[in-house]
Structure 1
Amino acid sequence: MDAVGHHAGPGVVIGFNLAGVRSVVALGAHPDDIEIAAGGLLLSLPAGVTVDYVLATGAPTRQAEARAAASAFLSQAAALNFHLHALPDGRLPAHWNETKEIVEAAASLGVPDLVLAPATDDAHQDHRLLATLASTAFRNSLVLHYEIPKWDGDLGRRNIYVPLTPDQGRRKVALLHEHFPSQKARDWWDDEVFLGLARIRGMECRSHYAEAYTVTKAVLAF
């Protein structure tokens, strides 16, 4: 699907076309964050898009998983640039200056059409910090704040949806399993979690599956 659907009220849907997106910055605190939250959107991006893929943490083996996953989720025609860092997992607030430098370095690359970042209400401290910094660093880009299912139970109301076909939803989950084998032992890493959330978000926007995001500020251009 090429459209991001936003429910503005009962029976009202405003469409934003992903087909016009030419540049994306994807921010993740940890390897697999971006794909779990926005893998369907990555699969929907047009050929020829430039993606700057930024991770704040990750051991070499986990970063290798992220490299392979990003390449699989994106079109072969995409220009994919990796900016991978190895700050301590779970300790980003204690490394505020270094994290801010990572985000500002990504923002200095240009003005992307779209920025993907964690949600500001995410219960994980690493995610929340990236979310806050993204909003201040990318003032002239549309920032979509994504959600990640987790033990903390922090899923809430979202206001932007990326509809996914059944094939896209299943393709996303298959790629997650294929490219993040280190995570398969986690008790929440399974098809029911990923597709269950996608089905609920799909129901909310009258699609079979969907990913959901939050936009805290947007400018309409006419």
Structure 2
Amino acid sequence: MLALSPAAGDLEVLCLGAHPDDVEIGCGATLLTLAERPGTTVRGVVLTGGGGPRETEAREALPRFVPGAEVEVHDLPDGRLPQHWDAVKQTLEDVGRRTAPDLVLAPRTDDAHQDHRLVGDLVTTVWRDALVLHYEIPKWDGDLGAMTHYVGVDDATRARKIELLDASFPSQHARDWWDPEVFGGLMRLRGMECRAPYAEAFRAAKVRLDLGSGPQEGAR
């Protein structure tokens, strides 16, 4: 298995979530790892929850994982994003005009939840020059599948992710899927798949590898 690392220097990361806890569940351990990397800046965009009781959770969670992270929360209707396609697209386009991320973290395009799926579908129509990694969210629907990219993490990072999830989203504690064994078990499974103690897994539709002297002028 070939291990790849981003080049040294500044790295701008954009995290997209349909709901307040999507990003932290899907890639919280990855964000904890990125937080240790010099020159990394992180911005979160959450499409639902604005103006409601979960907005505070959404605004406070990401900076716990990455100190200094900026978060914006929008008020699109939870569970109904496909019916508001134009508004979702416009929101992402507006964010796209203000950002030029190197890495975008977004839900999977085949996620069983319709809100997640729409955000995953639209992300590559807005950010065409960034590496897009689609994260996974465990759920009752049982939609987990094969992944293409992994971020290995150690036991301390696994434990810290779960600790911060519980501290950040008390509104979700009563849900039957909100379980440290669910979150930790998935990370152990993905770690086994990439020969790491634990891992978060992602899917990428298109990745360009510059293995020689760099891309040729005009290359696509």
TM-score normalised according to structure 1 size: 0.89
Q: Which position in structure 1 is the counterpart of 2:44?
A: 53
Q: Which runs of 4+ in 1 moved over 3 A?
A: 17-21
Q: Which runs of 5+ in 2 are unaligned?
A: 215-220
Distance in 1 between the 2:119 and 2:209 partners? Answer: 25
| Deviation sequence 1:51-80 (CA, Å, 0-9, x none) | 221011015321211221111100x3x4x2
**Paired residue type of 1:161:** Y
Identity rate of aligned residues, in percent?
Answer: 52
For the pair 1:195 / 2:184, whether they are aligned, the reply is yes
Distance in 2 between the 1:72 and 1:178 partners? Answer: 9
Tell me the SS of whatever aligns to 2:191.
Answer: helix
Determine if contact 1:21/1:113 at 8 Å carries over to the other structure: no
Q: Which position in structure 2 is the counterpart of 1:6?
A: none
Distance in 2 between the 1:151 and 1:62 partners? Answer: 21
Distance in 2 between the 1:21 and 1:115 partners? Answer: 15
Paired residues, number: 208
Q: Which deviates further from its counterpart, 101-110 or 44-53?
A: 44-53
1:122-201 maps to which residues of 2 (within 5 A)? 122-201=111-190
**Which one has the bigger strand percentage?**
1
> Which one of 47, 71, 81 corresponds to residue 92 of structure 1?
81
Q: Which position in structure 2 is the counterpart of 1:205?
A: 194
Distance in 1 between the 2:125 and 2:201 partners? Answer: 22
Tell me the SS of whatever aligns to 1:17.
Answer: coil
Tell me the SS of whatever aligns to 2:23.
Answer: helix
For the pair 1:62 / 2:62, whether they are aligned, the reply is no
Distance in 2 between the 1:47 and 1:73 partners? Answer: 15
Q: Which position in structure 2 is the counterpart of 1:72?
A: 64
Determine if contact 1:165/1:209 at 8 Å carries over to the other structure: yes
- Residues 18 and 169 (structure 1 numbering): CA distance in 2 closer, same or farther, change over 3 Å? farther
Shift of 1:107: 1.4
Q: Which runs of 5+ in 1 are unaligned?
A: 1-11
Determine if contact 2:10/2:39 at 8 Å carries over to the other structure: no
Distance in 1 between the 2:77 and 2:7 partners? Answer: 34
Distance in 1 between the 2:16 and 2:103 partners? Answer: 11
For the pair 1:26 / 2:15, whether they are aligned, the reply is yes
Shift of 1:47: 4.1
**Paired residue type of 1:65:** E
Shift of 1:48: 4.1
Shift of 1:81: 2.4
Distance in 2 between the 1:186 and 1:83 partners? Answer: 25
For the pair 1:120 / 2:109, whether they are aligned, the reply is yes
Shift of 1:49: 2.2
| Structure showing greater Rg | 2
- Residues 19 and 127 (structure 1 numbering): CA distance in 2 closer, same or farther, change over 3 Å? farther
Shift of 1:104: 1.0
Q: Which deviates further from its counterpart, 36-45 or 12-21?
A: 12-21
When the two chains are superposed, the root-mean-square deviation of aligned CA atoms in Å is 1.4
